[in-house]
Amino acid sequence: MAMKSYPLEKAFTFIEPGPVLLVTTYNESRYNIMAITWHMVLDFTPKIAVATGPWNYSFNALLKNRECVLAVPTIELAEKTVHIGDCSGKTIDKFQQFGLTALPAEKIKAPLIGECLACIECKVTDYLESQNFFVLQGINAWYDEEHKEIRKFHANGDGTFVTDGPTLDLRNLMEDKLPAGV
> What is the distance between the alpha carbons of residues 70 and 118, in angstroms, rounded to a whole number?
8
For 139, counting Cβ atoms within 10 Å of its Cβ (0-12 exposed, 13-18 middle, 19+ buried), the class is middle
In the three-class reduction of DSSP (H, G, I as helix; E, B as strand; rest coil), residue 48 is classed as strand
Q: Using the 8-state DSSP alphabet, how is residue 142 labeled?
A: E
**Quick one: pLDDT at residue 14?**
76
In a domain, 9, yes or no: no
pLDDT-derived band at 45, boundaries 50, 70, 90: confident
**pTM of the shown model:** 0.91
Give domain status of residue 96, yes or no: yes
Domain span at 87: 15-174
Mean pLDDT over each residue of the chain, to the nearest integer: 92
pLDDT at 57 over 70: yes
Above 70 in pLDDT, residue 181? Answer: yes
Is residue 59 a part of any domain in this protein?
yes
Residue 181 falls within a domain, yes or no? no
- pLDDT in the model for residue 124: 98
Residue 150 lies inside a defined structural domain of this protein: yes
Q: Is residue 7 part of a domain?
A: no
pLDDT of residue 17: 67
Total domain count, the chain: 1
pLDDT digits (tens, 9 = 90+) for 62-105: 999 999 999 999 999 999 999 999 999 999 999 999 999 999 99
Task: Please spell the DSSP secondary structure of 150-177, one letter per residue.
Answer: ---EEE-SSS-EEE-------HHHHTTT
**Within-domain flag for 5:** no
8 lies in some domain:
no
CATH number at residue 167: 2.30.110.10
Give Cα 97 distance to the centre of its chain: 20
